[in-house]
């Protein structure tokens, strides 16, 4: 095995800390070709589709990747912005905001953004941090609730990168922050802001991304963490249990997934006479296809077509100030004990190296 080149080791050089902010990923453009590349990588991950490879890969390459790219490209086209994919745009802004927030708190941390699928890849982000001299790296996935298919897959990508590294950084991973006070507080602030501007609906529906039900039986904490986030948010907003509905979206395939499903629930609410529903997706911290198209377009259409009168979509946290500060606090806690304070200036660093050389230190 050939190891990747590393930055030259220099005796006496300060230890540096890097932070890799990881989101799910996005195609590079809303075209069938780009979607085929993206979906091939995404759906071939054994963490995402837990079906034996010998059974799944012929289905993926023979059926799914023949029909789905064009349909998905058409959906992406409805949400694409002049800056590109919303998920990529918001992830970049979150990385910039986090870097600035940490700097304002007196930390010197190099922040890079990466995508689990697509570009910039996890490997590319780690290469960049090592090239910048990072010897300690905090991996912070933008998934508040832990799932093997999301956070677990990020860890897989990091470990794969280490196989070709000569000097492996000291790693720390943020596995979950579903009950973090700053995260829940930012969600509550987002809801209150929306209500101040648009009034309050009869029901607040919290739609989380779905996963197969069997993952709960196999030990995945995702379902419980989603419900805890919802409960903490409800309590922060001082709502009754009857005012809040928790659902799961994005079901794929014929297997049973976490229930209740979002669209059937909206149909039932409309049938029960609920005139207005406010919908939020707490598990997504960046607006993306699943929130802007699946919820704000498809789910909206379902509710209104079934007799509902008003559907209010509450945006994701995106680059909201309270969320960026929450991210910074999460990062601070997980970097505790690492030297992240401002490095000595160039003159002091040079003097220290000179002293080391005078004492006969070798590289």
Domains located in the chain, CATH noted: 16-29+80-176+321-334 (3.40.50.1400), 181-313 (3.40.50.1400)
Question: pLDDT at residue 304 above 60?
Answer: yes
Q: At what angle do helices 321-334 and 86-104 cross, to 10 degrees?
A: 60
14-56 pLDDT, tens digit each: 789 999 999 999 999 999 999 999 999 999 999 999 999 999 9
Question: pLDDT at residue 229 above 70?
Answer: yes
User: Residue 351 in 3-state DSSP?
Assistant: helix
Confidence band for 360, pLDDT divided at 50, 70 and 90? very low
- Assess contact for 110 and 134: CB atoms under 8 A: yes
Count of H-run helices and E-run strands, the chain: 14, 8
Confidence band for 357, pLDDT divided at 50, 70 and 90? low
The average pLDDT across 177-195 equals: 98
Query: Residues comprising the binding site?
Result: 209, 290
Kind of pairing between the strands at 16-25 and 109-117: parallel
CA-angle at 222, arms to 220 and 224, nearest 5°: 105
Token look-up 């100030």 returns 321
Beta strands (DSSP E) in the chain are: 16-25, 109-117, 134-141, 170-173, 203-209, 244-249, 276-280, 310-313
Query: Residues comprising the binding site for Fe(2+)?
Result: 209, 290
């Amino acid at each position: 095995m050939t190891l990747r080149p590393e930055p030259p080791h220099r005796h006496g050089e300060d230890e540096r800390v890097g932070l890799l902010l990881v989101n799910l990923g996005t195609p590079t453009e809303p075209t069938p070709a780009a979607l085929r590349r993206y979906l091939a990588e995404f759906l071939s991950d054994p963490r995402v589709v837990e079906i034996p490879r010998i059974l799944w890969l012929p289905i993926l390459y023979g059926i799914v990747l023949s029909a789905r790219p064009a349909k998905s490209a058409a959906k992406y086209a409805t949400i694409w912005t002049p800056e590109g994919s919303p998920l990529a745009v918001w992830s970049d802004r979150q990385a910039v905001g986090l870097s600035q927030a940490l700097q304002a708190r007196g930390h010197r941390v190099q922040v890079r953004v990466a995508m689990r699928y697509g570009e910039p890849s996890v490997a590319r982000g780690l290469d960049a941090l090592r090239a910048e001299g990072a010897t300690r790296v905090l991996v912070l996935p933008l998934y508040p609730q832990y799932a093997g298919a999301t956070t677990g897959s990020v860890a897989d990508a990091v470990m794969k990168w280490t196989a070709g590294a000569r000097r492996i950084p000291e790693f720390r991973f943020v596995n979950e922050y579903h009950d973090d006070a700053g995260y829940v507080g930012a969600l509550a602030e987002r809801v209150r802001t929306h209500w101040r501007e648009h009034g309050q609906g009869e029901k607040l529906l919290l739609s989380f991304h779905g996963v197969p039900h069997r993952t709960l039986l196999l030990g995945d904490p995702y379902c419980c963490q989603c419900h805890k986030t919802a409960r903490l948010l409800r309590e922060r907003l001082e709502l009754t249990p009857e005012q809040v509905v928790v659902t799961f979206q994005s079901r794929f395939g014929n297997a049973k997934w976490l229930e209740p499903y979002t669209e059937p629930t909206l149909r039932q609410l409309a049938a029960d006479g609920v005139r207005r529903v406010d919908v939020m997706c707490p598990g997504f911290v960046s607006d993306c296809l699943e929130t802007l198209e699946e919820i704000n377009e498809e789910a909206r259409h379902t509710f209104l077509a079934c007799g509902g009168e008003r559907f209010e979509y509450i945006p994701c946290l995106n680059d909201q100030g309270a969320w960026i500060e929450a991210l910074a606090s999460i990062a601070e806690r997980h970097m505790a004990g690492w030297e992240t304070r401002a490095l000595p200036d160039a003159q002091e660093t040079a003097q220290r190296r000179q002293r080391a050389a005078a004492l006969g230190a070798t590289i």
